[in-house]
Amino acid sequence: MPQHIQLRAAEVAVHLGDAGKKLVRIQIFPISDTPLQHPAYGELKFDRAFAERVVENFRSYAGAVTGDYDHGTDAPGSPEQGVSAGIVRSVKIEGDAVYAYLEPTQRALRYVEEGEYRLASPTVAIDWTNPATGKAQGPTLLAVALTNRPFIRGMEPLAAIDAASVALRAPKETQMSDPKNQGAETIALADHNAQVQALRDNVASLTERLNQTTASLNAVTAERDALKTEQARAVALADVQKLEAEGKATPAERDALVKLRLADAQLFADLTSKRTPVVPLSPQGASAPATPPEADPSKRGIALSQRAEQLVAEKKAKSYRDALRIAKAEAGLEMNGLD
C-alpha cells in the first residue's frame, strides 16, 4: 500500500498582525465523512478520526515539518527544488477543517502576499513509523507545499491572524527522519488532470511529428534506393551496349546480359572479356554474310542467366544471385577460376 500522500487542499493567506510577525494559515483539508473520489487513486476519506490522528501525530513527529514549493522537498533534484518555504509551527482542528500555521521565509511570504502562491498541499504519510519508538503511528504530516493546483475545491474563506493570536507550541528540534520512511512511494492527490492532459497532448504531438519524420525518412530512403538502382542499371546497360558496339553481343541478348551484370559484375567481366565478335562489323552498306558466325563459347553467360532464372522459377534458390552461384557451380566455372 502506498506510504505517503500529497493533498493539495487549501488556500493560504498571510496576515499582518500588530505584533509584526506574519504567519501563513493553511487549511489542510476539510473534515467530512463523505469520501472524495480521485481519478487516479480512488476513494479518499478525511473524517474526524483521521483529522485527530494527523493533529496528534504532528506533536510526536521527530523533526521539523517544513514548507516547500510544489512538493519540491519530496524528491529534490536541485537546491532550488528542495528549498524551504518555512516551518510549520502548529496544526489544529478548527470547526470542520484542519489548519496548519506556517512561519514563512521572506521569499515565501512575498510570494503569498503578492498572490503568486494562493493554495497549499500537505504531504501526509498514511502510516509513518516513529524512529523513537520503532512503531507505526498512523497518518503523519511530513511537509506542506505552497502550490496553485488544489485537489479539494470550495474551501472556506481564510481568517486574518497574526502570530500573537495563535497558541503555538515550542519549536521542535530538527532531527533526521527514519530512513525507513525515506524513499517510500508518494501519491500526488492534487488536481493534475490538466497537467496529465497537457502531457498526453505533448506525447501525441511528438508521436505525430515522429511519424511524419519517419514517413519522410522512408520516402527519402526509397527515393535514394530507386536512384541507386537506376544508376546501377544505367551502368550495366552501358557495359552491355559497349559489347553490342564491339559485335560481342546482340540486342536479343541485352536483357539477359544486363541482368547478369547487375547480379555479378565480376562474372560478367570474366565471361565477356573472352568473347569474340558474334556479329560481323561490316562497312556501311556491305552485305551480310551468307551463314551466321559460329557461336562463341563465352555465350555461357547467357546460358547461366537463363539457368539462374529457371532455378528461381523452380524455387531452388532464394534469389537470382544465389541461383547464379548454383548455375556457375553446375558449369564448373569455380574450378576454372572465374568465380
pLDDT per residue, tens digit, the chain (339 aa), is 445 556 544 444 444 343 568 888 888 888 988 888 767 667 778 899 999 999 998 987 767 888 898 888 877 778 888 899 899 989 999 999 999 998 988 899 888 888 888 888 888 888 888 888 888 888 888 888 888 877 777 766 544 467 776 665 444 443 334 434 443 333 444 444 555 666 777 788 888 889 989 988 898 899 899 888 888 999 989 988 888 888 888 888 889 888 888 888 888 888 888 777 765 544 444 444 444 554 454 566 778 888 888 888 888 888 888 888 888 888 776 534 444
Which cell numbers hold the place of 230?
537506376
Residues 178, 203: one domain?
A: no
- Domain co-membership, 79 together with 127: yes
Residues pairing with 136 in the sheet: 129
The pLDDT score that the predictor gives to residue 185 is: 38
Helix (H) or strand (E) holding 187: strand 186-188
Select from 162, 191, 220 the last residue of a domain.
191
State the Cα–Cα distance between residues 226 and 229, nearest whole angstrom. Answer: 5
Same structural domain for residues 257 and 207? yes
Distance of alpha carbon 39 from alpha carbon 214, whole angstroms: 35
Residue 152 is classified by DSSP as S
Question: Per the domain annotation, does 285 fall within a domain?
Answer: no
The C-alpha cell at 50 is 483521521
Q: What is the pLDDT of residue 98?
A: 92
Give the Cβ contact number of residue 284 at 10 Å. Answer: 4
Domain boundary among the residues 163, 191, 219 is at: 191
Q: Domain of 241?
A: 199-276+295-331
Distance of CA 282 to the CA centre of its chain: 72
Q: Rounding to the nearest 10 degrees, give the CA dihedral for residues 230, 236, 237, 242.
A: 150
